[in-house]
Structure 1
Protein backbone atom coordinates (compact mmCIF):
# COMPACT_ATOMS: atom_id res chain seq x y z
CA UNK A 1 0.00 0.00 0.00
CA UNK A 2 1.71 3.17 -1.24
CA UNK A 3 -1.14 5.63 -1.80
CA UNK A 4 -0.67 7.77 1.33
CA UNK A 5 -0.24 11.52 1.07
CA UNK A 6 2.58 11.76 3.68
CA UNK A 7 1.05 14.93 5.19
CA UNK A 8 2.90 14.55 8.51
CA UNK A 9 6.18 13.75 6.78
CA UNK A 10 6.12 16.77 4.47
CA UNK A 11 7.21 14.93 1.31
CA UNK A 12 6.80 11.49 -0.23
CA UNK A 13 8.40 9.44 2.54
CA UNK A 14 8.45 6.26 0.47
CA UNK A 15 11.06 7.86 -1.79
CA UNK A 16 13.16 9.21 1.10
CA UNK A 17 16.58 7.59 1.44
CA UNK A 18 16.83 4.85 4.04
CA UNK A 19 20.21 3.12 4.41
CA UNK A 20 21.22 4.19 0.93
CA UNK A 21 18.02 3.47 -1.01
CA UNK A 22 14.42 4.73 -1.18
CA UNK A 23 12.48 3.47 1.82
CA UNK A 24 9.94 1.65 -0.35
CA UNK A 25 12.74 -0.68 -1.46
CA UNK A 26 12.64 -2.16 2.03
CA UNK A 27 9.08 -3.30 1.35
CA UNK A 28 10.24 -4.76 -1.96
CA UNK A 29 12.81 -6.82 -0.06
CA UNK A 30 10.36 -7.93 2.65
CA UNK A 31 7.94 -9.27 0.03
CA UNK A 32 10.54 -10.82 -2.27
CA UNK A 33 9.65 -14.40 -1.40
CA UNK A 34 8.32 -17.44 -3.25
CA UNK A 35 5.63 -18.01 -0.61
CA UNK A 36 3.72 -15.07 -2.08
CA UNK A 37 1.84 -15.97 -5.26
CA UNK A 38 1.92 -12.36 -6.50
CA UNK A 39 2.35 -8.81 -5.31
CA UNK A 40 1.37 -5.35 -6.49
CA UNK A 41 2.09 -1.80 -5.33
CA UNK A 42 -0.93 0.54 -5.43
CA UNK A 43 0.03 4.21 -5.56
CA UNK A 44 -1.03 7.72 -6.54
CA UNK A 45 2.58 8.76 -7.20
CA UNK A 46 4.13 8.69 -10.66
CA UNK A 47 7.58 8.70 -8.99
CA UNK A 48 6.68 5.60 -6.96
CA UNK A 49 5.40 3.95 -10.14
CA UNK A 50 8.73 4.65 -11.84
CA UNK A 51 10.65 3.18 -8.88
CA UNK A 52 8.55 0.02 -8.98
CA UNK A 53 9.11 -0.39 -12.70
CA UNK A 54 12.85 0.12 -12.21
CA UNK A 55 12.87 -2.78 -9.72
CA UNK A 56 10.52 -5.00 -11.70
CA UNK A 57 7.72 -4.82 -9.11
CA UNK A 58 4.14 -4.77 -10.50
CA UNK A 59 2.44 -1.44 -9.84
CA UNK A 60 -0.98 0.16 -10.28
CA UNK A 61 -1.18 3.96 -10.59
CA UNK A 62 -4.50 5.60 -9.68
CA UNK A 63 -5.99 8.94 -8.65
CA UNK A 64 -8.87 7.87 -6.39
CA UNK A 65 -9.02 9.44 -2.90
CA UNK A 66 -9.84 6.74 -0.33
CA UNK A 67 -8.15 3.88 1.49
CA UNK A 68 -11.06 1.75 0.35
CA UNK A 69 -10.08 2.55 -3.24
CA UNK A 70 -6.51 1.39 -2.64
CA UNK A 71 -7.72 -1.88 -1.13
CA UNK A 72 -10.29 -2.55 -3.86
CA UNK A 73 -7.98 -1.72 -6.76
CA UNK A 74 -5.10 -3.83 -5.46
CA UNK A 75 -7.18 -6.87 -4.59
CA UNK A 76 -9.16 -6.71 -7.83
CA UNK A 77 -5.95 -6.56 -9.86
CA UNK A 78 -4.54 -9.61 -8.07
CA UNK A 79 -7.75 -11.61 -8.47
CA UNK A 80 -7.78 -10.88 -12.19
CA UNK A 81 -4.38 -12.58 -12.36
CA UNK A 82 -5.09 -15.34 -9.86
CA UNK A 83 -8.80 -15.90 -9.12
CA UNK A 84 -7.99 -18.84 -6.83
CA UNK A 85 -6.01 -16.85 -4.24
CA UNK A 86 -6.29 -18.31 -0.72
CA UNK A 87 -5.72 -14.95 0.97
CA UNK A 88 -4.28 -11.47 0.59
CA UNK A 89 -1.86 -9.50 2.74
CA UNK A 90 -1.97 -5.71 3.00
CA UNK A 91 1.47 -4.33 3.76
CA UNK A 92 2.22 -0.61 4.09
CA UNK A 93 5.34 0.75 2.44
CA UNK A 94 6.52 2.74 5.47
CA UNK A 95 7.61 -0.02 7.91
CA UNK A 96 11.28 -0.20 6.92
CA UNK A 97 12.34 -2.72 9.61
CA UNK A 98 9.78 -5.35 8.63
CA UNK A 99 11.61 -8.57 7.74
CA UNK A 100 10.98 -11.07 4.97
CA UNK A 101 11.06 -13.86 7.55
CA UNK A 102 8.15 -12.23 9.37
CA UNK A 103 6.08 -12.01 6.20
CA UNK A 104 6.81 -15.67 5.49
CA UNK A 105 5.89 -16.65 9.05
CA UNK A 106 2.49 -14.96 8.80
CA UNK A 107 1.71 -16.79 5.58
CA UNK A 108 2.94 -20.09 7.00
CA UNK A 109 0.79 -19.82 10.13
CA UNK A 110 -2.29 -19.08 8.04
CA UNK A 111 -1.70 -22.11 5.84
CA UNK A 112 -1.01 -24.42 8.79
CA UNK A 113 -4.15 -23.29 10.61
CA UNK A 114 -6.25 -23.84 7.52
CA UNK A 115 -5.44 -27.56 7.71
CA UNK A 116 -5.82 -28.00 11.47
CA UNK A 117 -7.51 -25.59 13.87
CA UNK A 118 -9.64 -24.06 11.16
CA UNK A 119 -10.85 -27.29 9.59
CA UNK A 120 -14.43 -26.55 10.66
CA UNK A 121 -14.30 -23.29 8.67
CA UNK A 122 -12.54 -24.58 5.58
CA UNK A 123 -15.55 -23.80 3.42
CA UNK A 124 -15.69 -20.15 4.47
CA UNK A 125 -11.97 -19.34 4.83
CA UNK A 126 -12.74 -16.39 7.08
CA UNK A 127 -9.73 -15.86 9.34
CA UNK A 128 -7.65 -12.70 9.76
CA UNK A 129 -4.01 -12.59 10.90
CA UNK A 130 -2.27 -9.43 12.08
CA UNK A 131 1.24 -8.71 13.32
CA UNK A 132 1.86 -7.93 16.98
CA UNK A 133 4.34 -7.68 19.84
CA UNK A 134 3.63 -8.51 23.47
CA UNK A 135 5.54 -6.65 26.16
CA UNK A 136 6.50 -8.66 29.24
CA UNK A 137 3.71 -8.65 31.86
CA UNK A 138 1.53 -6.42 29.66
CA UNK A 139 -1.90 -7.92 28.82
CA UNK A 140 -2.46 -5.50 25.92
CA UNK A 141 -0.19 -6.28 22.98
CA UNK A 142 1.03 -3.79 20.41
CA UNK A 143 -0.65 -4.69 17.12
CA UNK A 144 -0.39 -3.43 13.58
CA UNK A 145 0.41 -4.28 9.99
CA UNK A 146 0.75 -6.23 7.81
CA UNK A 147 -2.66 -7.91 7.97
CA UNK A 148 -3.62 -11.10 6.11
CA UNK A 149 -7.24 -11.79 5.15
CA UNK A 150 -8.43 -15.18 3.96
CA UNK A 151 -10.56 -15.28 0.80
CA UNK A 152 -13.87 -15.32 2.66
CA UNK A 153 -13.42 -11.55 3.17
CA UNK A 154 -12.59 -10.64 -0.41
CA UNK A 155 -16.08 -9.40 -1.29
CA UNK A 156 -16.24 -7.17 1.80
CA UNK A 157 -12.74 -5.84 1.18
CA UNK A 158 -13.86 -4.74 -2.27
CA UNK A 159 -16.88 -2.92 -0.78
CA UNK A 160 -15.42 -1.09 2.23
CA UNK A 161 -17.02 2.19 3.35
CA UNK A 162 -15.67 5.32 1.70
CA UNK A 163 -12.32 6.35 3.14
CA UNK A 164 -11.99 3.23 5.31
CA UNK A 165 -9.48 0.40 5.22
CA UNK A 166 -9.41 -3.24 6.25
CA UNK A 167 -9.44 -2.30 9.94
CA UNK A 168 -13.24 -2.09 9.57
CA UNK A 169 -13.33 -5.89 9.29
CA UNK A 170 -11.01 -6.42 12.27
CA UNK A 171 -13.51 -4.51 14.39
CA UNK A 172 -16.51 -6.24 12.84
CA UNK A 173 -15.17 -9.78 13.27
CA UNK A 174 -12.91 -9.75 16.37
CA UNK A 175 -13.52 -13.46 16.97
CA UNK A 176 -11.73 -14.27 13.70
CA UNK A 177 -8.68 -12.06 14.33
CA UNK A 178 -5.44 -13.81 15.35
CA UNK A 179 -2.16 -12.11 16.26
CA UNK A 180 1.21 -13.37 15.02
CA UNK A 181 3.71 -12.23 17.64
CA UNK A 182 7.24 -11.07 16.84
CA UNK A 183 10.23 -10.50 19.11
CA UNK A 184 11.25 -7.09 17.74
CA UNK A 185 8.52 -4.47 18.14
CA UNK A 186 10.41 -2.13 15.79
CA UNK A 187 9.19 -4.20 12.83
CA UNK A 188 5.77 -2.65 13.53
CA UNK A 189 7.07 0.91 13.58
CA UNK A 190 6.17 3.22 10.71
CA UNK A 191 8.05 6.31 9.60
CA UNK A 192 5.38 8.99 9.84
CA UNK A 193 7.83 11.84 10.45
CA UNK A 194 11.46 12.56 9.46
CA UNK A 195 12.40 12.14 13.14
CA UNK A 196 10.81 8.68 13.30
CA UNK A 197 12.58 7.71 10.07
CA UNK A 198 15.94 8.83 11.44
CA UNK A 199 15.46 6.71 14.58
CA UNK A 200 14.52 3.64 12.54
CA UNK A 201 17.50 4.12 10.23
CA UNK A 202 19.82 4.36 13.24
CA UNK A 203 18.39 1.06 14.53
CA UNK A 204 18.83 -0.56 11.11
CA UNK A 205 22.46 0.52 10.87
CA UNK A 206 23.16 -0.55 14.45
CA UNK A 207 21.72 -4.01 13.80
CA UNK A 208 23.51 -4.41 10.51
Structure 2
Protein backbone atom coordinates (compact mmCIF):
# COMPACT_ATOMS: atom_id res chain seq x y z
CA UNK A 1 0.00 0.00 0.00
CA UNK A 2 1.52 3.36 -0.98
CA UNK A 3 2.28 5.86 1.75
CA UNK A 4 -0.10 8.86 1.95
CA UNK A 5 1.12 11.88 0.00
CA UNK A 6 0.56 14.20 2.99
CA UNK A 7 0.64 13.71 6.77
CA UNK A 8 -2.70 12.68 8.20
CA UNK A 9 -2.22 15.04 11.12
CA UNK A 10 -0.25 18.25 11.65
CA UNK A 11 0.54 20.54 14.57
CA UNK A 12 -1.49 23.31 12.92
CA UNK A 13 -4.50 21.03 12.50
CA UNK A 14 -4.32 19.93 16.13
CA UNK A 15 -4.03 23.50 17.38
CA UNK A 16 -6.91 24.68 15.19
CA UNK A 17 -9.16 21.85 16.40
CA UNK A 18 -8.27 22.57 20.03
CA UNK A 19 -9.08 26.24 19.48
CA UNK A 20 -12.47 25.30 18.00
CA UNK A 21 -13.23 23.22 21.11
CA UNK A 22 -12.21 26.13 23.35
CA UNK A 23 -14.44 28.52 21.38
CA UNK A 24 -17.32 26.12 22.00
CA UNK A 25 -16.82 25.14 25.63
CA UNK A 26 -13.99 27.21 27.08
CA UNK A 27 -11.57 24.32 27.40
CA UNK A 28 -10.41 21.05 25.86
CA UNK A 29 -9.06 17.69 26.92
CA UNK A 30 -6.64 15.48 25.02
CA UNK A 31 -9.13 12.57 24.83
CA UNK A 32 -11.84 14.94 23.58
CA UNK A 33 -9.45 16.49 21.07
CA UNK A 34 -8.43 13.03 19.84
CA UNK A 35 -12.08 12.08 19.37
CA UNK A 36 -12.75 15.32 17.50
CA UNK A 37 -9.85 14.63 15.15
CA UNK A 38 -10.63 10.91 14.81
CA UNK A 39 -7.19 9.85 16.01
CA UNK A 40 -5.65 8.30 19.10
CA UNK A 41 -4.27 10.39 21.95
CA UNK A 42 -0.84 8.92 21.21
CA UNK A 43 -0.99 10.51 17.76
CA UNK A 44 -1.44 13.91 19.39
CA UNK A 45 1.43 13.28 21.81
CA UNK A 46 3.59 12.37 18.81
CA UNK A 47 3.20 15.96 17.60
CA UNK A 48 3.02 17.53 21.07
CA UNK A 49 5.15 15.58 23.58
CA UNK A 50 4.47 18.41 26.03
CA UNK A 51 0.77 17.61 26.00
CA UNK A 52 -1.91 20.15 26.80
CA UNK A 53 0.38 23.07 27.68
CA UNK A 54 2.29 22.65 24.43
CA UNK A 55 -0.96 22.71 22.48
CA UNK A 56 -2.02 25.92 24.25
CA UNK A 57 1.29 27.49 23.21
CA UNK A 58 0.68 26.35 19.63
CA UNK A 59 -2.71 28.07 19.77
CA UNK A 60 -0.97 31.21 21.02
CA UNK A 61 1.34 31.05 18.02
CA UNK A 62 -1.57 30.40 15.68
CA UNK A 63 -3.25 33.61 16.84
CA UNK A 64 -0.02 35.61 16.97
CA UNK A 65 0.70 34.68 13.38
CA UNK A 66 -2.53 36.22 12.14
CA UNK A 67 -1.45 39.85 12.16
CA UNK A 68 0.92 40.70 15.04
CA UNK A 69 3.65 43.04 13.76
CA UNK A 70 7.11 41.43 13.89
CA UNK A 71 9.07 44.39 12.46
CA UNK A 72 9.22 47.94 13.92
CA UNK A 73 8.30 49.65 10.66
CA UNK A 74 9.06 53.22 11.73
CA UNK A 75 10.47 55.38 14.52
CA UNK A 76 7.24 56.42 16.26
CA UNK A 77 6.85 54.17 19.30
CA UNK A 78 3.26 55.27 19.89
CA UNK A 79 2.25 54.37 16.33
CA UNK A 80 3.89 50.97 16.66
CA UNK A 81 2.41 50.25 20.10
CA UNK A 82 -1.00 51.32 18.80
CA UNK A 83 -0.68 48.97 15.81
CA UNK A 84 0.64 46.16 18.03
CA UNK A 85 -2.19 46.48 20.54
CA UNK A 86 -4.91 46.67 17.89
CA UNK A 87 -3.58 43.63 16.05
CA UNK A 88 -3.23 41.66 19.28
CA UNK A 89 -6.76 42.52 20.42
CA UNK A 90 -8.25 41.72 17.01
CA UNK A 91 -6.81 38.20 17.16
CA UNK A 92 -7.89 37.41 20.70
CA UNK A 93 -11.25 39.19 20.62
CA UNK A 94 -12.35 36.60 18.06
CA UNK A 95 -11.54 33.87 20.58
CA UNK A 96 -12.13 35.37 24.05
CA UNK A 97 -12.55 31.98 25.75
CA UNK A 98 -8.92 31.13 25.04
CA UNK A 99 -7.58 34.11 27.01
CA UNK A 100 -7.79 32.48 30.50
CA UNK A 101 -5.86 29.46 29.22
CA UNK A 102 -3.15 31.63 27.69
CA UNK A 103 -2.69 33.77 30.80
CA UNK A 104 -2.40 30.68 33.02
CA UNK A 105 1.01 29.66 31.68
CA UNK A 106 4.34 31.16 30.67
CA UNK A 107 4.59 32.49 27.13
CA UNK A 108 7.06 30.30 25.26
CA UNK A 109 5.78 30.26 21.68
CA UNK A 110 8.66 31.56 19.49
CA UNK A 111 6.50 33.68 17.18
CA UNK A 112 4.70 35.34 20.08
CA UNK A 113 7.98 36.01 21.87
CA UNK A 114 9.30 37.62 18.68
CA UNK A 115 6.29 39.97 18.66
CA UNK A 116 6.90 40.92 22.30
CA UNK A 117 10.63 41.34 21.67
CA UNK A 118 9.89 43.71 18.79
CA UNK A 119 7.64 45.79 21.03
CA UNK A 120 10.31 45.85 23.75
CA UNK A 121 12.99 46.92 21.28
CA UNK A 122 10.79 49.74 19.98
CA UNK A 123 10.15 50.98 23.53
CA UNK A 124 13.83 50.76 24.49
CA UNK A 125 14.84 52.73 21.39
CA UNK A 126 12.24 55.36 22.32
CA UNK A 127 13.91 55.87 25.70
CA UNK A 128 12.06 53.58 28.11
CA UNK A 129 14.39 52.63 30.93
CA UNK A 130 14.96 48.94 31.61
CA UNK A 131 13.27 49.15 35.00
CA UNK A 132 10.12 50.58 33.37
CA UNK A 133 10.08 48.68 30.09
CA UNK A 134 8.61 45.38 31.29
CA UNK A 135 5.91 47.28 33.16
CA UNK A 136 5.02 49.14 29.98
CA UNK A 137 4.72 45.86 28.07
CA UNK A 138 2.64 44.39 30.91
CA UNK A 139 0.26 47.36 30.94
CA UNK A 140 -0.34 47.08 27.19
CA UNK A 141 -0.77 43.32 27.56
CA UNK A 142 -3.34 43.73 30.34
CA UNK A 143 -5.32 46.25 28.30
CA UNK A 144 -5.38 43.99 25.25
CA UNK A 145 -6.24 40.74 27.03
CA UNK A 146 -8.80 42.39 29.30
CA UNK A 147 -10.46 44.01 26.31
CA UNK A 148 -10.46 40.68 24.45
CA UNK A 149 -12.29 39.11 27.39
CA UNK A 150 -14.71 42.03 27.42
CA UNK A 151 -15.44 41.41 23.73
CA UNK A 152 -16.94 38.06 24.74
CA UNK A 153 -18.92 39.43 27.70
CA UNK A 154 -22.72 39.55 27.74
CA UNK A 155 -24.29 42.49 25.95
CA UNK A 156 -25.53 43.77 29.31
CA UNK A 157 -22.48 43.58 31.57
CA UNK A 158 -24.15 45.45 34.44
CA UNK A 159 -27.81 45.37 35.47
CA UNK A 160 -29.03 48.93 35.11
CA UNK A 161 -30.72 50.43 38.13
CA UNK A 162 -34.16 51.92 37.37
CA UNK A 163 -33.32 54.78 39.75
CA UNK A 164 -33.04 57.88 37.51
CA UNK A 165 -30.42 59.31 39.88
CA UNK A 166 -28.13 56.31 39.40
CA UNK A 167 -24.97 57.45 37.61
CA UNK A 168 -24.15 53.92 36.46
CA UNK A 169 -27.71 53.26 35.31
CA UNK A 170 -27.84 56.51 33.34
CA UNK A 171 -24.48 55.74 31.73
CA UNK A 172 -25.63 52.24 30.79
CA UNK A 173 -28.76 53.55 29.09
CA UNK A 174 -26.79 56.25 27.27
CA UNK A 175 -24.31 53.66 26.00
CA UNK A 176 -27.09 51.30 24.94
CA UNK A 177 -28.50 54.11 22.81
CA UNK A 178 -25.18 54.32 20.95
CA UNK A 179 -25.21 51.92 17.98
CA UNK A 180 -21.42 51.42 18.20
CA UNK A 181 -19.53 48.50 19.77
CA UNK A 182 -19.15 49.36 23.47
CA UNK A 183 -16.20 47.01 23.97
CA UNK A 184 -14.34 48.37 20.96
CA UNK A 185 -15.04 51.94 22.02
CA UNK A 186 -13.80 51.24 25.55
CA UNK A 187 -10.64 49.76 24.07
CA UNK A 188 -10.10 52.82 21.89
CA UNK A 189 -10.40 55.14 24.90
CA UNK A 190 -8.22 52.91 27.08
CA UNK A 191 -5.50 52.59 24.47
CA UNK A 192 -5.26 56.36 24.01
CA UNK A 193 -5.05 56.88 27.79
CA UNK A 194 -2.45 54.14 28.22
CA UNK A 195 -0.21 55.42 25.42
CA UNK A 196 -0.40 58.96 26.81
CA UNK A 197 0.45 57.75 30.29
CA UNK A 198 3.30 55.54 29.14
CA UNK A 199 4.87 58.51 27.41
CA UNK A 200 5.56 59.97 30.86
CA UNK A 201 7.99 57.13 31.56
CA UNK A 202 10.40 57.93 28.72
CA UNK A 203 13.87 58.71 30.07
CA UNK A 204 12.48 59.12 33.58
CA UNK A 205 12.34 56.95 36.70
CA UNK A 206 8.87 56.13 38.01
CA UNK A 207 8.09 57.41 41.50
CA UNK A 208 5.13 55.45 42.98
CA UNK A 209 4.76 58.11 45.70
CA UNK A 210 4.20 60.95 43.26
CA UNK A 211 0.62 62.19 42.82
CA UNK A 212 -1.36 61.18 39.72
CA UNK A 213 -0.37 63.17 36.67
CA UNK A 214 3.31 63.32 37.60
CA UNK A 215 6.26 60.94 37.64
TM-score with structure 2 length normalisation?
0.22
Q: Which has the higher contact order (CA 8 A, sep 6+)?
A: 1
TM-score with structure 1 setting the length: 0.23
Bigger-Rg structure (1/2): 2
